[in-house]
Amino acid sequence: MKHHSSRILLFDLLMINAFVYISSSFYGSFLSPYYSARGISSLEIGILLTIGPISSILIQPLWAMISDRTGRIKAVLALVTLGSAVSMFSYYLGSTFIMYFIASLLLSVFSTSIIPLSNAIIIREAERINYSFSQIRMGGTIGYSISVVIAGIINKNNPDIMFFMGFIGYMLLFLFVMGLPADEITLRNAGSGTSVVKSSVRDVFDIFQSNTAYLILVYALISQLGLSFNGSFLGMFIRDAGYGHDILGWMNSASALSEIPILLLIMRLIKKFGSIRILTISCIILSLRMLIVSIGTLPFILLAQILQGMSSMAIYFSCVIYISENVKPGKQALGQSTLAFTQLGLGSIIGNIAGGYLVDILGIRNTFILISVATMLITAALSAVRWYIIRRKKPCCN
């Protein structure tokens, strides 16, 4: 019976991870060309796409603190999922910048908390049934790679339907979340009988067991500059080249499928080389990816998308695992929230706003080149700082 229960829980975790990404795939990648087709400027698009990151900074940590304080992380995840589903209909209220601003704000209040909260639950439950988080994460990769192609084909002729598709995706996610065991996070260290550790605003500055976690956050921040710009403006780049939503869907599917080999190998790579080395190499690959995209032809854009696994996924997974292993007891949700705050919040804000501004001035191709160079230089600077710190810590030899 216990084995059967573990199998049911594993299936539920796989479906939760899948629909976290399936739901966003129905609309996320297609928003910038959708806005552009309705006369929204590049700078305005950058502002709209920054509402989510701002919410990651201002609203999402509150959901995390509620989760850790009450111990009812499942209930909070169910609430934000349901709120995301209902919010999708707000995009049908009008087609002006102001109405899109309101719709984006309403959706972001809920949706930006889904990934950190679901990660906290999945990592905890995967450890309980002795299953690898990387293999569960493949549910999201495979689900996304299939659904984004379907969404691209459907959205090509009827782009307005993507918001209804998002509603369906979030409702299915809500049902799988409700199938989880009842809020077992109320216990710290399962089976110990100790009570949940209550979180407060002070806890935001007292989360990690190691100061190295803050270096991880810096890497997460700088990498997100390129990742957010690529995710937000690649659709416009492809559309300006004369291609439709269906091509964008296939491109995003290829990028998702490239994550599978990384997910199969990432734990061994982290154990052998360490998270910081993996992050450094991944940031260099990300810089090359931006440069390849700037060439502007479909074969090179496809090649750049195939580098998704070695750049975006390797960065994401290294950060998530390091944070999970280095938070203090009872602060898993707040730890993942801090990562999302830095990466999906600050990084995306800078990437989207600065990116939209630069696109209006330099054009999309030149902005890709500029971000590529900036990412490489900042990565080199961080590596030099880390080398200097390590060198100073080594004992001097006579």
Q: Tell me: the pLDDT tens digits for 119-178?
A: 888 888 888 888 887 788 888 888 888 888 888 888 878 889 999 999 999 999 999 999
Report the amino acid identity of residue 143. G
Q: Please tell me whether the overall predicted TM-score, pTM, comes out greater than 0.75 for this model.
A: no
Residue at 167 is within a domain: yes
For position 184, what pLDDT does the model report?
52
Residue at 398 is within a domain: no
- Check if the beta carbon of residue 386 is closer than 8 Å to that of residue 215: yes
H or E, element range at 312: none
Q: Look at the block and give the residue holding tokens 């880390």.
A: 386
- Domain CATH for 122: 1.20.1250.20
Angle, in degrees to the nearest 10, between helices 212-240 and 348-362: 40
Residue at 190 is within a domain: no
Tally of CB atoms within 10 A around 338: 27
Q: Look at the block and give the residue holding tokens 């959708």.
A: 34
For position 398, what pLDDT does the model report?
40
* Pairwise CA distance, residues 30 & 82, whole Å: 22
For position 357, what pLDDT does the model report?
82
For position 88, what pLDDT does the model report?
96
Residue at 326 is within a domain: yes
Residue at 312 is within a domain: yes
Question: 74: Cβ–Cβ under 8 A, 6 or more apart, which residues?
Answer: 121, 177, 180, 181, 182, 183, 185
Tally of CB atoms within 10 A around 269: 17
pLDDT tens across 78-120, in order?
A: 999 999 999 999 999 988 999 999 999 999 999 988 988 898 8
Residue at 159 is within a domain: yes
Domain count within the chain: 1
Among the listed residues 28, 33, 49, 100, the one whose alpha carbon sits nearest the alpha carbon of residue 245: 33
Strand pairing partners for 195? 187
Largest CA distance in the chain: 74
* Pairwise CA distance, residues 360 & 291, whole Å: 19
Residue at 193 is within a domain: no
- Check if the beta carbon of residue 151 is closer than 8 Å to that of residue 249: yes
Residue at 195 is within a domain: no
- Check if the beta carbon of residue 239 is closer than 8 Å to that of residue 36: yes
Low-confidence ranges of the chain (pLDDT < 70): 1-4, 183-206, 245, 330, 332, 393-398
For position 81, what pLDDT does the model report?
96
- Check if the beta carbon of residue 110 is closer than 8 Å to that of residue 87: yes
Tokens of 233: 């403006």
Tally of CB atoms within 10 A around 150: 16
Among the listed residues 291, 295, 207, 301, the one whose alpha carbon sits nearest the alpha carbon of residue 254: 301
Phi-psi region of 200 (alpha: psi -120 to 50; beta: other; left: phi over 0): beta
* Pairwise CA distance, residues 11 & 111, whole Å: 23
H or E, element range at 188: strand 187-188
Dihedral sign of CA atoms 386, 388, 389, 393 in order: positive
Which ranges of the chain does DSSP label H, i.e. alpha helix? 2-25, 31-37, 42-58, 60-70, 73-87, 97-111, 114-128, 133-157, 162-178, 212-240, 245-257, 259-273, 275-293, 298-306, 308, 314-325, 332-340, 348-362, 364-393
**Domain extent at residue 147:** 2-185+201-393
Backbone angles phi, psi at 331, to 5 degrees: -125, 30
Tokens of 108: 């972001």
What angle (nearest 5°) sits at the alpha carbon of residue 62, between those of residues 56 and 63?
85
